[in-house]
């Protein structure tokens, strides 16, 4: 039986990792075959790519280099983890996926949207999530949450305007792909958001 592919998207501090983990643990407790993974860094090679992407450097980091690294990470991830697990019936939950690349490298960084979509498509071989939860939160709130938790990495060091373009980018993607992308209000409590996720998964018959 073919598995299910669920992704979580949103700006920094929105609550993606929190909800992805909650869903993973819930499904596991119900004896589902389930895998929790993330981008970048969902494979051995991907972990090395993740480090390059997130470590601050004094070198110029060309936006296209950033895009290529994300897509290289994704290509490893698709071939080694996502596709094989979906094909053997797993529910694969991924913390960030194609929409993050489109929002960050496309809408926020300003690379050509069509090119980013094409590279996404090459890296995934056209595989799309069955459903994507976009956790939406005001930029100030998201940044406040992660600042309280830990310091900022290279991407998080970008300014407020960058993060605002990012949030708008995600919302634009959700509008374009209404059937796949469900927007959740990240200002609700963890429990309220999680209940909404379960409700949507049932309504869309993704979970029984």
Ligand X SMILES: Nc1ncnc2c1ncn2[C@@H]1O[C@H](COP(=O)(O)OP(=O)(O)O)[C@@H](O)[C@H]1O
Query: In whole angstroms, how close is the CB of 183 to ligand X at the nearest point?
Result: 14
CB 86 within 8 A of CB 2: yes
Residue of 181, 152, 166 lying closest to 105 (CA atoms): 166
- From the list Mg ion, ligand X, none, pick the one residue 77 interacts with, judged by a Cβ distance below 5 to 8 Å according to partner type: none
Closest CA to 180 of 115, 116, 105, 102: 102
CB 15 within 8 Å of CB 49: no
Query: Which one of 13, 106, 129, 169 is in contact with ligand X (CB under 6 A)?
Result: 13
Angle at 111 between CA 108 and CA 112, to 5 degrees: 120
**17 versus 80: smaller Cβ distance to Mg ion:** 17
CA–CA dist 152, 144 (Å, integer): 11
Six-digit token pair at 134? 């976009």
**Among the residue ranges 13-21, 23-31, 78-86, 158-166, the one whose residues contact ligand X (CB under 6 A):** 13-21
Nearer to ligand X, 83 or 146 (CB): 146
Distance of CA 193 to the CA centre of its chain: 17
Say how many residues make up the chain: 208
Question: Closer CB to ligand X, residue 100 or residue 119?
Answer: 100
Helix (H, G, I), strand (E, B) or coil at 182: strand
Among 145, 154, 172, 180, binds ligand X (CB under 6 A): 145
169 lies in the binding site for ligand X (CB under 6 A): no
Q: Write out the two tokens for 111.
A: 């690379």
Among the residue ranges 5-13, 51-59, 71-79, 166-174, the one whose residues contact ligand X (CB under 6 A): 5-13
CB of 24 to Mg ion, least distance (A): 13
Residue 93 CB, shortest distance to Mg ion, in Å, is 13
What is the smallest separation between the CB atom of 197 and ligand X, expressed in angstroms? 12
Tell me which of 3, 5, 7, 17 binds Mg ion, using CB under 5 A: 17
């Amino acid at each position: 039986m073919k598995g299910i592919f669920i992704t979580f998207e949103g700006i920094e501090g929105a609550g993606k990792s929190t909800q992805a983990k909650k869903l993973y643990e819930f499904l596991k407790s119900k004896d589902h075959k389930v895998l929790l993974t993330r981008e970048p860094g969902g494979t051995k090679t991907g972990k090395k790519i993740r480090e390059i992407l997130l470590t601050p450097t004094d070198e110029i980091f060309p936006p296209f280099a950033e895009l290529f690294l994300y897509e290289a990470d994704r290509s490893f991830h698709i071939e080694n983890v996502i596709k094989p697990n979906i094909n053997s019936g797993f529910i694969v939950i991924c913390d960030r996926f194609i929409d993050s690349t489109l929002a960050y490298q496309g809408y926020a960084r300003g690379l050509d949207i069509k090119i980013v979509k094409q590279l996404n498509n090459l890296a995934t071989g056209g595989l799309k999530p069955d459903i994507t939860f976009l956790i939406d939160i005001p930029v100030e709130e998201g940044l406040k949450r992660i600042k309280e938790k830990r310091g900022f990495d290279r991407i998080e060091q970008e300014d407020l305007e960058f993060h605002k373009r990012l949030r708008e980018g995600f919302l634009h993607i959700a509008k374009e792909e209404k059937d796949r992308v469900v927007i959740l209000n990240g200002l609700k409590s963890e429990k309220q958001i999680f209940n909404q996720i379960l409700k949507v998964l049932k309504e869309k018959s993704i979970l029984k």
